[in-house]
A and B are shown apart, each in its own frame.
Chain A
C-alpha cells in the first residue's frame, strides 16, 4: 500500500492552462505539505495543512491554491500556468507524537512541464 500517493506522476501542459495535482495519505497523519523542487533540485515548502487548516503559506503566487477536503487529502490547483512553474511538486505528510517527530513521508512527486 502506498503511504503518500500523488497523481499524476507526470503532467505536460500549455501556458495559460489550469491544472490540479492530487495527494492522499493513508498513514493517519495530521499534517500535509506541498513542496516545490526546482531545476537545481532545491526543495522549498509552499503550503502546510494541519487537520484541514492552513498553517503555512510561504511566498507563493496566488495562482496556486491548496485545498484540503479532509486530513487525508491535500490537492494543489494551479491557475494560468507559466513556464516558471515547471518543476517537481512533492506532497508529504507527518505526525507529531509526544513532541517527537519522525520526519516526513513523501509522495513520489509530480513532474510538471509547462510548454
Chain B
C-alpha cells in the first residue's frame, strides 16, 4: 500500500519570503502521479500542481514549483514570493497511474503567511 508523509505539521513565514514544504512517499509502483492540494479556511480543495513520475523535469505553476526526486521518493513544494492568500493547509497526494484512481493524502502542513 502507498503511504504519503508530510513531516512538517505547521510552518510560518513572512510575506514575500520563499518557503518549502516537504513530502515523502512510499510505493513499489514505477508510474504514478503526485499532487499538491491547497485547502484555505474556506475548506475548498484546490489543485496547486501535479507531476508525472515518468517526467524528470520538475513541474512549475507561476510561484509554485516542485523538487521531485524519484529515487529518494521525495516531492517538495516551493512557494516563492509568498502572499497572504497562500495561508492554507497544504496536502501532498499520490495516485497510481494504472488501476483505480485513488488519491492517497499526506497528513497536511498548515502554512501561515504573516504580514
The 10 closest A-B pairs by CB, nearest first: A106-B45, A43-B105, A103-B47, A109-B43, A41-B108, A56-B100, A103-B35, A94-B101, A108-B44, A55-B100
**In the complex, A103→B47 CA distance in Å?**
7
Chain B residue nearest in CB terms to A42: B107
Q: Size class of A's contact patch?
A: 20 to 34
Given A99-B97, A103-B50, A45 and B43 contact (CB-CB distance below 8 Å): no
B52–chain A nearest beta-carbon distance, Å: 8
Number of contacting residues on B, CB 8 A? 23
A108–chain B nearest beta-carbon distance, Å: 5
The answer to whether A104 touches B89 (Cβ under 8 A) is no
Q: What would be 5 A-B contacts, judged by CB atoms less than 8 Å apart?
A: A35-B103, A43-B91, A101-B101, A106-B45, A108-B43
Which A residues lie at the B interface, using CB under 8 A?
31, 33, 35, 40-45, 48, 55-56, 88, 90, 92, 94, 96, 99-106, 108-109, 111
**In the complex, A111→B33 CA distance in Å?**
29
Contacting A at CB under 8 A, from B75-111, are: 89, 91, 95, 97, 100-105, 107-108
